[in-house]
Each structure stands twice: as C-alpha cells, then as structure tokens.
Amino acid sequence: MENLVLKINNNEYKAHCETDCHKSLIINDKHYEVELLKKFSDNVFSFIVNSKIYQVELFVNGRSQITVSLNGMDYKIDVTDSTTYLLEKFIRQSGKSAGSGAGIVKAPMPGLVIKLFVDEGMTVVPGEKLLIVEAMKMENVLKSTIAGKVVSLKVQEGSTVDKDSILIEIEPT
C-alpha cells in the first residue's frame, strides 16, 4: 500500500492505493474501484471508475505533477508521498514559527548529512536546496525558507545529527 497526498486547486486529498495500485484507490476515506478499459494513445485512456466510464488525457509534468484533462477541464495534480509531504509541512511550519530564528535550519529528525549544496558566504533564496539528510533510508532535502546569506555551517557531509540540532545559520536579507 502506498500513501500519497494529492493537491488539486489548493485542496489536499489523502490517498492510498491498495494491492497493485491500479484496481482500488481510497481518497479521503472514499473507496474507488478503477479499471483501465482502453489505451487510445500514449496519454489518452478510457477507465471505469465505480461503474462509470471516463475518457481522460494524462500529461506527466516531471516526477510529481500530472495534468488530467476530463470533460474539457484540465486539473493539475501535485502528487507527493506522505513522508515527503509531512517533512515539507514540518519544515514550512518550523520556518513560520521560528520568527526571528527563521534563519536557523534545524534537523527535523535524527539522521546523516549526505550532501551539502551551500557554503558559508553564499546567498540563498526561498526554496533553494541547502542539504540532504538521510533518515530511515529516506533522503530528505532541506530547503531555505528565507532569502539571505549563509553565515555558518554547523555540519559537513557525513555528519550524524540529532533531532532539532542546528545545521545551518542564514542571515536574512
């Protein structure tokens, strides 16, 4: 079973796939039986969903975004696995609640620093990759929540870190 978070028009839906992820879906606790009827081209399909037939056109935009065209309407869907979603949410909330400490990047969980993307003295913008921390065999990319200058690196590649330990200090600009 794979747990996903789908974002459609600023609405979030919790989804998980049962068995082979092609027959049974549960979205916000509602069950959907899905069957592929016909493939018309590389991106046009006919499906039966809970006994109704739908013809859809699918466009995959990168690893985590899909555009679905259905009945003349386009729906952009951002797909995130639940672990990445929770980590991103935690990082966003940590940055907002930090106030004047928003330039402090802390470890969201114990782990190992795999890669540093910045050096002291570099300027960063919101959303820019700072480092990768591996925890429980998953790589988590930590990004800057503010624009500023990296004033201090408290870790290096290969360092082990504890939850909430300071990794990087950024001086806001």
| Range(s) within the chain of domains with CATH label 2.40.50.100 | 98-172
pLDDT of residue 101: 54
Fold of 2-81: Glycoprotein, Type 4 Pilin (3.30.700)
98-172, what's its fold?
OB fold (Dihydrolipoamide Acetyltransferase, E2P) (2.40.50)
Q: Is the pLDDT of residue 58 over 70?
A: yes
138: phi then psi, degrees, rounded to nearest 5:
-120, 135
Q: What's the mean pLDDT when you consider all of the chain?
A: 82
Q: Tell me the pLDDT band of 7, cut-offs 50, 70 and 90.
A: confident
pLDDT computed for residue 121 by the predictor: 94
| Strand (E) or helix (H) holding 100 | none
**What would the two tokens of residue 13 be?**
């839906």
Q: Where in the chain do CATH 3.30.700.30 domains reside?
A: 2-81
- pLDDT for 106-118, tens place per residue? 888 889 999 999 9
**Structure confidence by residue, pLDDT tens digits, 112-155:** 999 999 999 999 998 899 999 988 778 888 888 888 999 999 99
Cα–Cα distance for residue pair 172/155, rounded to 1 Å: 20
Give the separation between CA 135 and CA 141, rounded to whole angstroms: 11
Give the tokens for residue 77.
């869907």
pTM: 0.47
